[in-house]
Structures are given as structure tokens and as C-alpha cells.
Chain A
Amino acid sequence: MSIWEYANPVKFMRTSGAVLPWLIGATAICLPVGLIWGWTVPEDYKQGATVKIMFLHVPSAMMAINIWVMMLVTSLIWLIRRHHVSALAARAAAPIGAVMTVMALVTGAVWGQPTWGTWWEWDPRLTSFLILLLFYLGYMALWSAIENPDNAADLTGVMCLVGSVFAFLSRYAAHFWNQGLHQGSTISVAPGDRISSVYSYPLYTCMLGFFLLFVTLLLIRTRTEIRRRRTAALLAREMRA
């Protein structure tokens, strides 16, 4: 079991087809349980009911960053070893990541209005998420603009590498530029200032649910991409014959 076996689309289709129903089932259990559990938590003494936005905001923000990292890794695998499924997975992940980024920004705005008194603030974290969204949009636009799929995979891969460096740089540059309203990280392994387990357990469930949702959507989208390539190849063969 190594990722190189799955460079063969047939092998990938077979395995992902077998795994997919289980993933869908796990997501269908985990996500509603986490969200409903999050809905029933006691209200925060300061923020009231708005604390429940956390169960959408934190997992989507986490996934938004992790999906970009996953795209970076899959792009590298494609650029180094010409792993075709890897390139398709990067392409399939981008719209999911963009939606997660938008979700984090929107839930953040809805949450920020009652707690900070503003929908939007040029806070470093908010700003870097907006820039991350721009990178996602540019990445998807580049994919759709280039016709030759291998060239598109190469160019978007290079763009993802350079973009990662600059997205990272922008995050720290934004810190330099403005100190923000947003709190630091909520979940840490260090003892001390941590959120109560009343909130953290449903939050972990939601995070797991979002992760499973992402993997499920990713597999479905990658399978669609592979099928689209197959139809294109078949059509090209028809045209030649």
C-alpha cells in the first residue's frame, strides 16, 4: 500500500469506490452529531448563544488552511513524480478549499458583529484569510484557463508553490502591519488557558466531521475528474477513427 500504486487510475477508482460508501456513512453520522451537540451546549457567559457559531467557524477555517497545504503536497508529488491522480486531487480540492474559506469569513463576520461590534475589521487573521481566498480564486482560474491538462497541472503546481510562500509571508506581514482583534489559538496542548470540555468535545466532533466531509467530497470530485479525462480520451479516439 503506497501512494505510487494509486498513480494508476484504475487502481485508484477501485479502491476509492470501495472506501467511498464508508466515508459517506461516517460523515453522515459525525457531522450531524457534532453540529447538533454543538447546538445544545450551554450559552457562554459573555457571548451568549453566538458561541455556537464556533462549531462552523473553527472547523471551516482549519480546513481552509489544511486544504491549501494538501494542495501544496499533491502539487509537489505531481511535479516531482508525475503522479496524475495527485494533480487531479489538487484540482479537485481547490473549490472545496475556497468554499471553506468563504464559510470561515462569513461565519466570522456573523460572529464578529455581536461580539466585536463590526462585520469586518482589517485584522491580520481576517486579512490573511481574504488573501488566501484570492489565492484559491487565482489557482482555480488558472486551472480553467489552460486547455492542455498536463500543462495546466504543471503551471498550477508552480503557482501553488510560489503562492504558498507568499500566502505564508502575507500572514506575517499582516501581523507586522496591524495588531488585531482576533484571539490567539483556542485549542492548544499546553495546560492552562483552555476552553471548557463542554465546548471542546463537540468542537472536536465537528472538526472530524468537516475532515470526513472534505475527504468524501475530494474522492467524489477526483473520481469525476478521472471520468471526465476518460470521456475526453474516448472522444479523441473517436475523432481519430
Chain B
Amino acid sequence: MLALLIRDLRLATRAGGGFGLGLAFFLIVCTLVPFGVGPEGGTLALIAPGILWVGALLACLLSLDRIFALDWEDGSLDLLATAPVPMEGAVLVKAAAHWITTGLPLVVAAPVFGILLHLPSGAQGWLVAALLLGTPALSMLGAFGAALTVGLRRGGLLMSLLVLPLYVPTLIFGAEAVRRGAAGGDGTTPLVLLAGITLATLAAIPFAAAGALRVNLR
């Protein structure tokens, strides 16, 4: 499993792997929003938690088809299916690799984007904590969506229709934690609920995604 993780990370970081594209996309979203709503700091600070979370969601969505599609095309997915590692473990590792290449950079870079959008400094800690707890769930659910649509030729649009509704609870709790932090309040309750969602997806989604992959491979 470790070998698989290292292989996926290597593939993502080498040329053409698309590493950092998610981050660049996130930057563009955060640059475009002020053009759309105007440069007033007050307005931006008000909508910053939502924009940051929706941006993270979309950046995550963009790279989802990479989780299984390339391995499906060149047949390594069949090898993985016959490997001694159970399919569930492979899904978990794939989602982890996706998280390390898209989720983690977002978490690290989020405070900078927070400053761009005039997020109050008191909320920066909440933003990092919420993204750190929430983005693994985004990667897991994304892996499930990618597993469902891996056999389809134009699965990208369908996948976004399938995956985005699943992101709703994560988005609600994540953005709520940051919003409460920005208002000077305490965001612990939504953070705890967010962590609950992430842990539940970590525990249950590998089985659903592995089931979907097995169907697609048969």
C-alpha cells in the first residue's frame, strides 16, 4: 500500500501530473471573485468563508477524474484488482494520494487566500482547521464518484452532478465553522460535526467505492 501511495504521488508530481493545478485554480477563483462583487473589504470579508470553501470544493472536483481514469485506461487498475491488497485499501490509498496532492496544498495555502479576501485574522485558524478536517472527506467522496464513473467516456460532467450534492454537508459545516470564527465566535460545534463526517466517510466510503470499481472492472 505504501508503494502504491509513493507511485501515485510520484505520478502526480512529475511532469504532466497536474500537481499544483488545483492550487492555481483556487488562486484564480479568489482573484475573480473581487472583480465580480467589488473591492470593498467589508463585503469580501462577509463572503470570504463561503468563497474559500466553494473554491476548495471546485479545485478538488477538477482533479477527481485523475484518481482512477488513467489507471483504468492503461490497465493498472486490473492489476490492482488482482493484487494482494484489497480493493478497499487501494481506494483508500488513492484517495489519500489525491488529498496529499490537492487537499493538503489548499490547507497550507488557505491563509494567504484568506488575506486576499480580507478574512478577519481571528478566522484564519478556524479556516485552516476546517479545511484540514474537511478536505479528506472531499477526497473520499470524490474517489467514490470517480469509481462510479470510471468506465464512462465522458464521465466528467456526470461525476460533478453525482459528487457535488454529496459535498453539501461538508460545505455547510466547514463554512459555518469559518463564519462563526470570522464573527468572533466559537466554531467548535461545526468543526466536531465536520470531523464526524470525515471519519464516517473514511470508514464507509472505501467499501462503496471498491464495490463500484469491481462492478466497472467485471
Whether A65 sits at the interface, judged by CB under 8 Å, is no
Interface hits, A169-214 → B, CB 8 Å: 169-170, 173-174, 176-177
Whether A142 sits at the interface, judged by CB under 8 Å, is yes
Q: How far is A148 from B151 in the complex, measured between Cα atoms in Å?
A: 11
A173 touches B165 (CB 8 A): no
Known contacts being A145-B158, A173-B172, is A162 close to B208, with CB within 8 Å? yes
A162 touches B172 (CB 8 A): no
User: Contacting A138 at CB < 8 Å: which of B155, B161, B211, B215?
Assistant: B161
Q: How far is the CB of B47 from chain A (nearest CB, A)?
A: 14
Q: How far is the CB of A5 from chain B (nearest CB, A)?
A: 27
Known contacts being A141-B158, A145-B155, A155-B212, is A162 close to B144, with CB within 8 Å? yes
The interface residues of chain A lying within 8 Å CB-to-CB of B144 are: 162
B176 touches A177 (CB 8 A): yes
Chain A contact residue count (CB 8 A cutoff): 25
The interface residues of chain B lying within 8 Å CB-to-CB of A159 are: 148, 162
B173 touches A173 (CB 8 A): yes
Taken residue by residue from 154 to 197, chain B's Cβ proximity to chain A (1 for < 8 Å, 0 otherwise) reads as 01001001101110110011001000000000000010010001
The interface residues of chain B lying within 8 Å CB-to-CB of A36 are: none
A-B contact count (CB 8 A): 74
A131 touches B165 (CB 8 A): yes
Q: How far is A131 from B216 in the complex, measured between Cα atoms in Å?
A: 27
B172 touches A138 (CB 8 A): no
The interface residues of chain B lying within 8 Å CB-to-CB of A134 are: 161, 164-165
Interface hits, A141-157 → B, CB 8 Å: 141-142, 145-146, 151, 154-155
A176 touches B208 (CB 8 A): no
Known: A173-B173, A176-B173. 17 other contacts (CB 8 A): A137-B161, A138-B162, A142-B149, A145-B149, A145-B155, A145-B158, A151-B215, A154-B212, A155-B212, A158-B211, A158-B212, A159-B162, A163-B166, A169-B169, A170-B169, A174-B172, A176-B193
